[in-house]
């Protein structure tokens, strides 16, 4: 398949590498020039439990150059475009490449948070949007170098709920790359479960500076995390998804017990002075809760604290 990764940071690089290794024609489109240059020069280095591999053959472009290439004689739009920017950049990124999205292009979001389909639908025909959730982890180590340890999976569906040949083709490409992909009509349940998990752990670690395991240093840490999970699950249920709190609470407690030394991505973004995904995680839950009349005091408080920290981090450096 002819596949484009729009946003080739940690996740886009991992997926791009795996898909290229499986023989697909992969293009990485990103705005991070140093990363693209390193891949063009040496291939993409992927560290995994299987060892370290240098993956050759990935085409790399900045958005406007890629659009030019597709629109030039002989160019062709991809069959699958996977969006892996941070959620706050989705719409701008997609608008930047809208001229290279053809009538046959399926557009897939496996990003975290709520509202991803709505953002894609502002630019592409909703009938061509795929949505899913992935548990694969990835970290960008440096330009041209990504690491992913442990196993993961992907669950996806067509956003309009239909089953099409294009959906099957996208799922089978991801499966062929060893990414454990299955089509699942209960994707929205999985999305809400992951939002509940992230709304609790990402924000608590961001605000306190704790690693995930350090949340166990006081009883308040796990208790507050579980309170947030219960609130988010209540909003999911009021939205019509019969998400059970028990399994998410178990995952949160397991992460606190097992993820020693881990700083979630939101905490890493805050630390690096980058904007976080707070608006598509806690922010989106709070907005939905308000519309449905569900009380989410802990989720809201954490959202406000992260937004405040983010605003402070954006201040110009003194002097
Ligand atoms: P990342 O910050 O490593 O990568 C995002 C990339 O998007 C960057 O390389 C950035 O340069 C690029 N980008 C920004 N604006 C762009 C634009 N206009 N055009 C093209 N590229 C642009 O983020 P990530 O960790 O790969 O996460 C991507 C998404 O996947 C997020 O929603 C995240 O929550 C989700 N996710 C991450 C993980 C993980 O382990 N990293 C796991 C599951 C889901």
Question: Does a structural domain hold residue 206?
Answer: yes
3-state SS assignment for residue 163 = coil
Q: Which ligand 1 atom minimizes the distance to the CA of 134?
A: 43
Question: Do 213 and 288 sit in the same domain of this protein?
Answer: yes
| Nearest to 282, CA basis, from 199, 202, 182 | 199
Which protein residue's CA is at the shortest distance from atom 9 of ligand 1?
9
Please count the CA atoms within 13 angstroms of the CA of 313 that sit on its side-chain side.
18
92 lines ligand 1 (CB under 6 A): yes
Q: Which ligand 1 atom minimizes the distance to the CA of 198?
A: 34
Is the separation of the CB atoms in 81 and 108 below 8 Å?
Answer: yes
Q: What are phi and psi of 299, to 5 degrees?
A: -60, -40
Out of 185, 206, 233, a domain closes at 185
Question: Do 281 and 150 sit in the same domain of this protein?
Answer: no
pLDDT in 10s for each residue of the chain, 319 residues: 999 999 999 999 999 999 999 999 999 999 999 999 999 999 999 999 999 999 999 999 999 999 999 999 999 999 999 999 999 999 999 999 999 999 999 999 999 999 999 999 999 999 999 999 999 999 999 999 999 999 999 999 999 999 999 999 999 999 999 999 999 999 999 999 999 999 999 999 999 999 999 999 999 999 999 999 999 999 999 999 999 999 999 999 999 999 999 999 999 999 999 999 999 999 999 999 999 999 999 999 999 999 999 999 999 888 7
Question: Do 137 and 29 sit in the same domain of this protein?
Answer: yes
> Cα(194) to centroid of ligand 1, in Å?
17
The whole-angstrom separation of Cα 238 and Cα 231 is: 11
Residue 127, pLDDT score: 94
Residue 318, pLDDT score: 81
3-state SS assignment for residue 313 = helix
CATH of the domain at 22: 3.40.50.720
The whole-angstrom separation of Cα 237 and Cα 260 is: 32
Region for residue 144 given its phi and psi (left: phi exceeds 0; alpha: psi -120 to 50; beta: otherwise): left
Is the separation of the CB atoms in 236 and 197 below 8 Å?
Answer: no
> Cα(148) to centroid of ligand 1, in Å?
14
Residue 316, pLDDT score: 87
Question: Does a structural domain hold residue 319?
Answer: no
Question: Do 175 and 307 sit in the same domain of this protein?
Answer: no
User: Domain count of the chain?
Assistant: 2
Range of the domain at 167: 2-185
193 lines ligand 1 (CB under 6 A): no
**Residue count (the chain):** 319
Q: What are phi and psi of 204, to 5 degrees?
A: -60, -40
Which protein residue's CA is at the shortest distance from atom 4 of ligand 1?
9
Q: Would you state the torsion angle of the CA atoms of residues 284, 85, 169, 43, taken in this order, to the nearest 10 degrees?
A: -160
The two three-digit tokens of residue 211, written as one number: 């690693």
Question: Do 78 and 164 sit in the same domain of this protein?
Answer: yes
Strands (E), the chain: 2-6, 25-29, 44-48, 51-55, 59-61, 80-83, 106-109, 129-134, 139-142, 145-147, 154-158, 181-183
> Cα(108) to centroid of ligand 1, in Å?
14
Q: CA angle, 298 as apex, 295 and 304 as ends, to 5°?
A: 105
| Nearest to 38, CA basis, from 66, 8, 81, 82 | 8
Question: Do 163 and 54 sit in the same domain of this protein?
Answer: yes
| Nearest to 201, CA basis, from 299, 109, 273 | 299
Which protein residue's CA is at the shortest distance from atom 32 of ligand 1?
111
Q: CA angle, 197 as apex, 194 and 200 as ends, to 5°?
A: 145
Question: Do 89 and 74 sit in the same domain of this protein?
Answer: yes
Packing angle, helices 297-313 and 187-208, rounded to 10: 60
Q: What are phi and psi of 34, to 5 degrees?
A: -60, -40
Out of 185, 220, 245, a domain closes at 185
Residue 319, pLDDT score: 74
> Cα(83) to centroid of ligand 1, in Å?
8
* Residue 109: strand pairing partners: 83, 131
CATH of the domain at 291: 1.10.1040.10
Count of C-beta atoms within a 10 Å radius of residue 200: 32
3-state SS assignment for residue 82 = strand
Catalytic residue list contains 86:
no
Which protein residue's CA is at the shortest distance from atom 16 of ligand 1?
93
Residue 227, pLDDT score: 98
Question: Do 244 and 153 sit in the same domain of this protein?
Answer: no
Count of C-beta atoms within a 10 Å radius of residue 217: 12
Question: Do 168 and 46 sit in the same domain of this protein?
Answer: yes
Residue 317, pLDDT score: 82
Give the chain's largest Cα–Cα span. 64
């Amino acid at each position: 398949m002819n596949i484009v990764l729009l946003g080739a940071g940690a996740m886009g690089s991992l997926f791009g590498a795996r898909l290229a290794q499986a023989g697909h024609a992969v293009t990485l489109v990103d705005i991070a020039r140093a990363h693209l240059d390193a891949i063009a020069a040496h291939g993409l280095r992927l560290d995994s439990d299987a060892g370290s591999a240098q993956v050759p053959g990935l085409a790399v472009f900045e958005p406007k150059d890629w659009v030019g290439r597709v629109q030039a004689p002989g160019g062709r739009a991809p069959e699958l475009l996977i969006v892996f920017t941070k959620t706050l950049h989705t719409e701008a990124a997609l608008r930047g490449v809208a001229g290279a999205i053809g009538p046959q292009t399926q557009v897939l979001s496996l990003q975290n948070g709520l509202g991803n389909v709505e953002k894609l639908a502002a630019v592409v025909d909703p009938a061509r949007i795929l949505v899913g959730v992935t548990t694969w982890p990835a970290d960008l180590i440096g330009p041209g170098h990504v690491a992913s340890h442990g196993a993961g999976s992907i669950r996806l569906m067509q956003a309009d709920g239909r089953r099409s040949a294009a959906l099957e083709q996208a799922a089978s490409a991801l499966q062929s790359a060893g990414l454990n992909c299955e089509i699942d009509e209960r994707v929205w349940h999985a999305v809400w479960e992951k939002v509940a998990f992230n709304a609790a752990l990402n924000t608590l670690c961001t605000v306190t500076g704790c690693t995930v395991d350090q949340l166990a240093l006081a009883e308040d840490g796990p208790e507050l995390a579980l309170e947030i999970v219960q609130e988010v699950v209540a909003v999911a249920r009021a939205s019509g998804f019969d998400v059970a709190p028990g399994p998410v609470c178990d995952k949160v407690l397991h992460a606190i017990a097992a993820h020693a030394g881990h700083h979630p991505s939101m905490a890493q973004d805050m630390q690096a002075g980058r904007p976080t995904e707070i608006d598509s995680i806690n922010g989106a839950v709070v907005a939905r809760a308000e519309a449905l009349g569900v009380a989410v005091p802990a989720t809201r408080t954490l959202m406000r604290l992260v937004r405040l920290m983010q605003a402070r981090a954006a201040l110009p450096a003194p002097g």
